[in-house]
Amino acid sequence: MESSFRGESMNILLHGCNGRMGQVLTRLIPEEDDMNIAAGVDSDVNKFKNSYPVYNSLKQVKEKFDLLIDFSNHTAIENILNFGLSKKVPLVICTTGFTDEEKNKMLEASKQIPIFNSSNMSLGVNLLISLSKQAAQVLGSDYDIEIIEKHHNQKLDSPSGTALMIADAINKTLGNNSNYVYGRHSKTSKRDKNEIGIHSVRGGGVVGEHEVLFLGSGDVIEIKHSAISRDVFGYGAIKAARFIIDKNPKLYSMDDLI
């Protein structure tokens, strides 16, 4: 059912509730005084025993809710957008790996409902991006720029959406003149001054680590963020929910929240 939010406790529909981040939010949201989970949606309905009803399709949801939080897969975005538009509820999209076509669909839907989307829900990562932009402004083309991201061995997309987010922010700062190079396997030419190297590491249970290197002829500047718990992304999603619940239709990001 569509949103009934009037300033009282916020009812959340959690899409992807039985995934890694879905279970983090299942634990964190009940600790908040002003929100609760009304229902969840997941393709694996019986994976966990949750305190709220879980469905395998958005169409099956009967409970009243004020906002949808998504931590699932980018391929579900069209169904989520159509559902959000039909119910006229805000969406907090925390999934990564979107294609350009999917991003455009999100932008189009945001003309009718408020949508919050970020490739990384950590405030710390977004501070890293801000510092990287400042470093790029100061160091300019005198330094080579490389980005290294590390994640657990179950992560599907590579490079991470956050690594691309960092690269895009730096590239924009430098006038959008940079070319992205993903690893250097079989590359036999010298490094171009306009390159931004992006490298992915997958292994173990690494929650998420991003490092930006500015490499000069006489020194190296390193800006790094390491997530030691997935809770940091859950708290970011909760902040985004509070932020967007009463906003006008638009596509919002961490820049707006900060």
* Single pTM value for the model: 0.79
Would you say residue 87 has pLDDT above 90? yes
Examine residue 137 and state whether it is found in any structural domain, yes or no. Answer: yes
Residue 73 and residue 195 in one domain: no
Q: What would the pLDDT profile of 183-221 be if each residue is shown by its tens digit?
A: 888 778 888 889 999 999 999 999 999 999 999 999 999
Residue 113 and residue 235 in one domain: yes
Examine residue 1 and state whether it is found in any structural domain, yes or no. Answer: no
Examine residue 103 and state whether it is found in any structural domain, yes or no. Answer: yes
Give the domain extent around 37. 10-117+231-257
Examine residue 5 and state whether it is found in any structural domain, yes or no. Answer: no
Examine residue 250 and state whether it is found in any structural domain, yes or no. Answer: yes
Domain of 197, CATH number, reads 3.30.360.10
Residue 3's pLDDT band (cuts 50, 70, 90): very low
Q: What would the pLDDT profile of 149-186 be if each residue is shown by its tens digit?
A: 999 998 888 899 889 999 999 999 999 999 999 988 87
Residue 129 and residue 80 in one domain: no
Our count of domains for the chain comes to: 2
Catalytic site includes residue 155: yes
DSSP secondary-structure letter at 6?
S
For the beta sheet containing 179-182, the strands, ordered from the edge strand earlier in sequence to the opposite edge, are 179-182, 195-202, 144-151, 208-215, 220-227
Catalytic position from the list 151, 199, 210, 225: 151
133 CB-side CA count, 13 A: 14
Catalytic position from the list 155, 199, 210, 225: 155
